[in-house]
């Protein structure tokens, strides 16, 4: 919905969509599931379900907030997001948080105040097959997304 506020439709829209996908994968719901109005989406009105186990990872929540920033200039580039995700295990939370724009840090602080019960219990263990996801993300960042071949059933229809 960048066009509603006069923002360019560019790579930052894709980063926002990746934020929606990451949120959905982490919390099993869409970030705007409870308030899917254009205004809520434009203003990035969503919440992190603090009772969900994945919400314990401050790093994960910070990356979601960063990717879903209302203003595209506050979102990372896809290449930067890929670098952050590749190094997430060894990057201290304070360093990650400090590298984000002030508007994103303010949103994170607001959520932390609102949900003061949330405590970081450590990083979420990544699955062993994370390499395939990283390779796919690299291809997308390089503009080389793999093309799927139509199935035999699809070509008969």
List pLDDT tens digits, range 65-99: 999 998 999 999 999 999 999 999 999 999 999 99
Of residues 128 and 116, which shows the higher confidence score? 116
Q: How many domains does the chain have?
A: 1
- Does residue 156 form part of some domain? no
List pLDDT tens digits, range 1-59: 555 666 777 888 899 999 999 999 999 988 887 776 777 677 777 878 878 888 888 99
The pLDDT value given to residue 49: 84
* For residue 140, pLDDT beyond 80: no
- Does residue 155 form part of some domain? no
Note the residue count of the chain: 157
The pLDDT value given to residue 59: 94
- Does residue 94 form part of some domain? yes
**Residue 64 belongs to what domain range?**
2-145
* For residue 131, pLDDT beyond 70: no
DSSP string across 87-116: TTTTS-HHHHHHTS-HHHHHHHHHHHHHTT
- Does residue 157 form part of some domain? no
DSSP string across 10-73: SHHHHHHHHHHHHHHHHHSS-TTSS---HHHHHTT-----TTSGGGG-HHHHHHHHHHT-SSGG
- Does residue 150 form part of some domain? no
Confidence of residue 134 (pLDDT cuts 50, 70, 90): low
CATH number, position 110:
1.10.510
- Does residue 151 form part of some domain? no
- Does residue 152 form part of some domain? no
20 in Cβ contact with 68 (< 8 Å): yes
CA distances from 123 to 9, 60, 92, 101, 110 (A): 33, 8, 10, 22, 22
- Does residue 20 form part of some domain? yes
């Amino acid at each position: 919905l960048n066009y509603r506020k006069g923002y360019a439709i560019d790579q930052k829209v894709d980063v926002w969509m990746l934020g929606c996908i990451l949120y959905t994968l982490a919390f099993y719901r869409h970030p705007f599931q409870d308030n899917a109005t254009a205004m809520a989406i434009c203003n990035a009105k969503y919440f992190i379900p603090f009772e969900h186990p994945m919400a314990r990872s401050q790093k994960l929540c910070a990356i979601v907030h960063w990717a879903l920033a209302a203003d595209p200039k506050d979102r990372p580039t896809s290449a930067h997001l890929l670098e952050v995700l590749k190094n997430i295990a060894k990057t201290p939370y304070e360093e990650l948080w400090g590298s984000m724009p002030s508007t994103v840090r303010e949103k994170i602080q607001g959520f932390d105040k609102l949900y003061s019960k949330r405590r970081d219990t450590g990083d979420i263990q990544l699955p062993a097959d994370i390499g395939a996801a990283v390779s796919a993300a690299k291809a997308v960042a390089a503009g080389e997304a793999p093309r799927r071949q139509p199935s035999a059933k699809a070509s008969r229809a």
